[in-house]
Structures are given as structure tokens and as C-alpha cells.
Amino acid sequence: MSADSALLKNELLKTELTERLGCRYPIVQTAMGWVSDANLVIATTKGGGFGFLAGATIEADKLEGEIQRVIEATGGSNFGLNFHMFQENAAQCVELAIQYRLKAVSYGRGPDQETIARLKAANVLCIPTVGALKHAQKAVQLGADMITIQGSEGGGHTGGVPTSILLPQVLDAVDVPVIAAGGYSTGRGLAAALAAGAAGIAMGTRFMMTSDSPTPKTTLERYIQVQDTQKIRVTTAVDGMRHRMVENPFINRLEKASPMRRLLIALRSAWSWKQETGMTFGHMLKTFWKAVKEDPAAVSQVVMSANQPVLLQHSMVEGRPDDGILPSGQVAAAINQLISAPELIKEIADEAGTCLQQLISRAQARPQGTDAADSHQITAQITTQSTNQSTSQSTTTTAKEAC
């Protein structure tokens, strides 16, 4: 590769995401419960990506230590912290993000406007994840600095709109950088997202399926074995909301269980979670009552929602993939090897740069008789998107075909 070619590749991968988050490549490692620990975030950061610690599942008395480990290993605070406002130590997460001057926080059902304002005042970027257009618009109204949109291809809790539809909708509707998630695992995908106007991509499943992941070997082998995307399906049996996960015996039993049986499973798991975390009855009842008010018809599912961590731990911590739940994006069916996070990031960045270069070359090599001005205009538009995110979606398909 010539020096000029390498320089162009690097320029094409510079976006508002890389500039504001201080990472080399527009690739984000999402916060997965019991997966996104300090080691994975360190590997992601050293590889040039941007990683989020899963603050929602790291024990409160260990969270500060995990943050310090990443800072010491990477020499800075160029990483993020994920949390949920309903967790008992949500206030601690906010305080630690501010205290250690972390680059960003991520969340789903997010903090109130006052908390977001505090974070922004401390120069902590607020990057919520949404699965619907209306939620993206609401998040921006509350003060989000960037938005991660997750299409239905993504794992865990996910919406019903594919990324290819949701991304253009949100790009047209908001004036903040948009990160695309759901269905991404390759450089081709990154190139397509950038050509559409996204500031970068976020991946969970792909980072979970790396050699830097703490996921037990038995569970990773279960993911590797899945080759049919139809086996990575959506269920509402866990908590009444859409979950995409790998089909396994536990999910099949849960879906076939009677409402009373589901309630018993939920109560048993809820008690286990209380014993493990020391959660007070008061906090449990508060969470339960709030959820029941939202959906009084689904009591067992409300209880299950409060104790979902137990189901995750069976597979993601204890290495019992058939006794818990296996959140997964559809991309898992296309992954057959576990490389390191830095290797993955480099592989994706190199492939994306090549795709975008080929797209530019194709535009420059238009047949004779084609208006040259049109060709130069296309080239200029693509190049400009690398530093000043455009919201044009007209070149997405071409980017996918370029490789």
C-alpha cells in the first residue's frame, strides 16, 4: 500500500465520532452485561476503538477500581461508562463519570434533563441507545450529544425496525452525530454506514465473540456453533419486551410454560438476585411497582424483568449456556473465529477504507460521455463525509457493492 493510499484511508475514517471521542477509528464497543469489563475496554482502546464499561453489572464496590484499571492501562479517560437509572448505584455511576472525566456515558432509558445537564457541564458526552425514531428525537430534546440507533438485527433488547430503515430516518430527523448499530461486524458494514451519513458503528456481539471477551469458553462455543440466523430470534417471554437471542432449551421451556410457571421461575430468580446483590426489599418493591403501573397485566414478566441478570449470569458468567439466556445479534451466525479486539478493529478499519477508496475510484472512472462534474461532485461528497458528516443516504447500496 502506498503512503498516499494509506493516508486517504485514514482520512476517510475520520469522523465527528473519532474527533469528539478521541479514538482512531469510528468503531464503538458497546456495554454488554458481564462482558464489557476493564480487560475488554482496555483491548478496544488500545486497538483504536472506543469502549464502554458495563456499569450496570459491575458490583458497586468494584466499579471505581475497574475505571482506574482502564485509565492506568491506557493512559487516559478515553472510554465510557454505561448505566441504567433504575439501578441502585446510578448516582454513583454519574459521580464517577464526572470525577474521572470519562469521555462519555451511554444509557437506554436515560437520566432526567438535570442529570444530563450535569454530565454535559463536566464535558462528559451523553450517548443514549434507541431503537425507534421517536425515542431518538426525545433523547436529543433531553440533551444527547450523539445517538446510537440499534436496528432489529441487534442483540438483547431490540426494536422492530431494521437498521437500513431506522438509520436514514434518524439522520433526517436529528442534528447530532448518529452511530449505527445492529447487524455490523465487518468493514463493508462500516463503509456502508459512513456512506449513509453515520458517524460510525457500534458492535456488541462481535466484540463479545473475541479472545479478549471474559465470556466462558463453553458459552462462546455455543455462539460459534450457530450458523443459521433463524436460530437467533426474537422472544418476548423473558420480560414482555423484544429480546433477540440464540434459541436454547431454557427459552423454549419458558415460551411453553404456563403463566403460573413463569411467575414461579421469575420469583425464584428474583430471590437469587436479591441474595447475591444485597438489594433491599424497598428498592425491589419500588422497581416492581413502577413496572406494574406501566403494564399491570404482565406481573410475571415484570418480576422477570427485575431479575433478568440472574438469567444472564447462568450463561455469561457461569458457563451454562443452556440454562440462561444468550443475547445475540444476527451477525453471530456469520462469525466463526475468535480474534483479539485490536485485530478485529484493524481488520474492519482496513476493509472499510478499501471499500470507500473503491467507491471513490468508481465515481472517478465514469464512462465517457458522463458529466465529469457529476463524478467530481460524488467524489467530493464522499470525501467530505469523512470529516463533516453528511446525511445523504443515496450511496449506501453502492458502498456495500464496492467490496
**pLDDT (tens digit per residue) in 198-238:** 999 999 999 999 999 999 999 999 999 999 999 999 998 88
Are 210 and 299 members of one domain?
A: no
| pLDDT value for 5 | 73
Q: Does residue 19 form part of some domain?
A: yes
Are 317 and 280 members of one domain?
A: yes
Are 64 and 210 members of one domain?
A: yes
Q: Does residue 374 form part of some domain?
A: no
Residue 398 pLDDT class (50, 70, 90 cuts): very low
Are 22 and 40 members of one domain?
A: yes
Residue 191 pLDDT class (50, 70, 90 cuts): very high
| pLDDT value for 207 | 99
Which CATH number fits the domain that encloses residue 47? Answer: 3.20.20.70
Are 27 and 64 members of one domain?
A: yes
| pLDDT value for 258 | 81
Average pLDDT, the chain: 87
Taking alpha carbons only, the member of 129, 144, 235, 250 closest to residue 181 is 129
Containing domain of residue 159, as a range?
15-214+339-348
Q: Does residue 114 form part of some domain?
A: yes
Q: Which three cell numbers stand for residue 36?
A: 464489557
Are 39 and 78 members of one domain?
A: yes
The tens digit of pLDDT for each residue in 334-345 reads 999 999 999 999
| pLDDT value for 80 | 99
The tens digit of pLDDT for each residue in 349-389 reads 999 999 999 999 888 887 755 554 554 555 555 555 544 54
φ, ψ for residue 206 (rounded to 5)?
-65, -40
Distance of CA 280 to the CA centre of its chain: 30
Are 231 and 193 members of one domain?
A: no
Q: Does residue 399 form part of some domain?
A: no
Are 79 and 203 members of one domain?
A: yes
Residue 322 has pLDDT above 70, yes or no: yes
| pLDDT value for 46 | 99
Domain count, the chain: 2
Q: Assess contact for 39 and 17: CB atoms under 8 A.
A: no
Total-model pTM: 0.85
Question: Which of 87-91, 166-170, 351-355, 388-392 bottoms out in mean pLDDT, i.e. has the lowest?
Answer: 388-392
Q: Which three cell numbers stand for residue 112?
A: 432526567
What's the rounded Cα separation, in Å, for the pair 90 and 287?
13
Are 245 and 207 members of one domain?
A: no
Q: Does residue 364 form part of some domain?
A: no
Q: Does residue 390 form part of some domain?
A: no
344-369 in b/e form (b: 16+ CB < 10 A) is bbbebbbbbbbbbbbbbeebeeeeee
The tens digit of pLDDT for each residue in 48-61 reads 999 999 999 999 99
Are 191 and 61 members of one domain?
A: yes
Are 119 and 22 members of one domain?
A: yes
Q: Does residue 398 form part of some domain?
A: no
Residue 240 pLDDT class (50, 70, 90 cuts): confident
Are 82 and 210 members of one domain?
A: yes
What's the rounded Cα separation, in Å, for the pair 250 and 230?
17
| pLDDT value for 396 | 42
Q: Report which of residues 124 and 297 the model is more confident about.
A: 124
